[in-house]
A = this chain, B = another copy of it.
Amino acid sequence: MSDDAPESLIPYDEIVQDALRAVVGRVLGEVEQSGGLPGEHHFYITFNTRFAGVSIPKHLSERFPDEMTIVIQHRFWDLKVEDEGFTVGLSFGGVPATLRVPFAAVTQFHDPAVEFALTFQANAAEASPEEHEVAENDAPENDDGEKREDGSNVVSVDFTRKK
């Protein structure tokens, strides 16, 4: 066994990422079932807006042509979790909208309350989407926003090959 790991014939990257996407569904499913967020928990969910199956209003897809981040915290409604994705009602600038997001489109999940984060590569997404602002669907003023890099509970799935 040399230090140059051979190309894997088993797609571990993909298998692990697929498995971890189930975390997003399970966490949202528990919120759906219990009817609310426990304690101070809240979620920043970033997804690829061009991914097949994503359904968002046109003004959002125009503003966020690559990725957008939504906040599940103060005002959200009709959260429904299915096998392949979730739908949720959110308000953007006072305008209500229903968003449908397949789990396969999710690139980041972040719960600032306990600094838990998951980072994915969106399936079939381009490698480096540009930086984007959070969609500001009613995040409070004093929220400390995106602190993923400081988190103690960050799971980043990145099995970079050595060659």
Contacts and interface: CB of A to CB of B under 8 A. Distances in A.
Interface of A: 1, 5-6, 8-10, 12, 15-16, 18-20, 22-23, 26-27, 30, 38-41, 111-116, 144, 147, 152-153, 155, 157, 159-160, 162
A68 to B, nearest CB: 23
Nearest to A158: B153
Contacts of A23: 12, 15-16, 19
Given A15-B23, A22-B19, A114 B8 contact: yes
Contacts of A1: 112-113, 144, 147
A152 B10 CA distance: 16
Given A10-B111, A157-B155, A15 B39 contact: no
A18 B153 CA distance: 16
B6 A27 contact: no
B5 A39 contact: no
A139 to B, nearest CB: 14
